[in-house]
Each structure stands twice: as C-alpha cells, then as structure tokens.
C-alpha cells in the first residue's frame, strides 16, 4: 500500500534521494519524477532503485490502467495519471520540466 507522510504526500523510496526525488542513478535537473509500481504499490525514484530495494520483479501497469495515479512530480509532489504523464513534458501543476529520455523506460512502468 502506498505510504504517506504526515502531510499526506506519498513517500518515495530509493537510494540516496534528494528532496525532489532524484536518486543515485538519475540526478540531472530534469530527473524529478517518481513512479508508483503496481507490484508493490510503492513510489520509487526509478526502476533501478525498485530492483535494488525489492525482492520481486516489477509489474507494469496495463494499457487499461492509464487513468491510474501512478506518477508524481518530485518538485511539487503532484500525483498524476499515467495518461497525463505520457502526454506532457512538464508537470501540469508546477510546470517543472521532465526528462524526455525517460520515455525509453516506459515499458518498465506501464504498457501503452
């Protein structure tokens, strides 16, 4: 089950996270997205953090689950649906830019 802090913000898991969800694996100014994994219902900074912290294989969200809140902007903590995320290059709430290279990793997180 997704864990929340005392302010109601989802807790993001990962390795060496900063306050905007950058991790040891991805830490450019644009790496500010966390993904909620279907398999464990936890937010992780990236697929590598998930795989290093969990003892199970990741399960991507299916094509019919695109309206699931499964992506969070690390800058403003806005949760968005998969559909919202894949159709933009910035946060719909705070306009923080997202890394366009993350598209290569979509298959780990969701099926489009």
Contact 56, 33 (CB under 8 A): no
Give yes or no for residue 46 having a pLDDT over 90. yes
Contact 25, 15 (CB under 8 A): yes
Q: Is residue 72 part of a domain?
A: yes
Q: How far is CA 58 from the centre of its chain?
A: 13
Q: In whole angstroms, give the CA distance from residue 75 to residue 31.
A: 10
Give yes or no for residue 39 having a pLDDT over 90. yes
Q: Is residue 33 part of a domain?
A: yes
Q: Is residue 62 part of a domain?
A: yes
Q: How many domains does the chain have?
A: 1
Backbone angles phi, psi at 61, to 5 degrees: -65, 145
Q: Is residue 95 part of a domain?
A: yes
What is the chain's mean pLDDT, rounded?
Answer: 96
What band does 29 get if pLDDT is binned at 50, 70 and 90? very high
Q: Is residue 6 part of a domain?
A: no
* Parent domain of 64: 12-108
């Amino acid at each position: 089950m997704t864990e929340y802090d005392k302010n109601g913000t989802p807790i993001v898991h990962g390795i060496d996270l900063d306050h905007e969800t950058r991790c040891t694996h991805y830490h450019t100014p644009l790496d500010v997205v966390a993904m909620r994994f279907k398999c464990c219902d936890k937010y992780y900074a990236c697929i590598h953090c998930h795989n290093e912290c969990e003892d199970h294989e990741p399960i991507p969200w299916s094509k019919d689950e695109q309206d699931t809140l499964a992506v969070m902007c690390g800058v403003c903590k806005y949760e968005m649906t998969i559909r919202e995320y894949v159709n933009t290059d910035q946060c719909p709430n705070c306009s923080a830019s997202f890394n366009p290279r993350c598209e290569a990793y979509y298959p780990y997180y969701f099926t489009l």
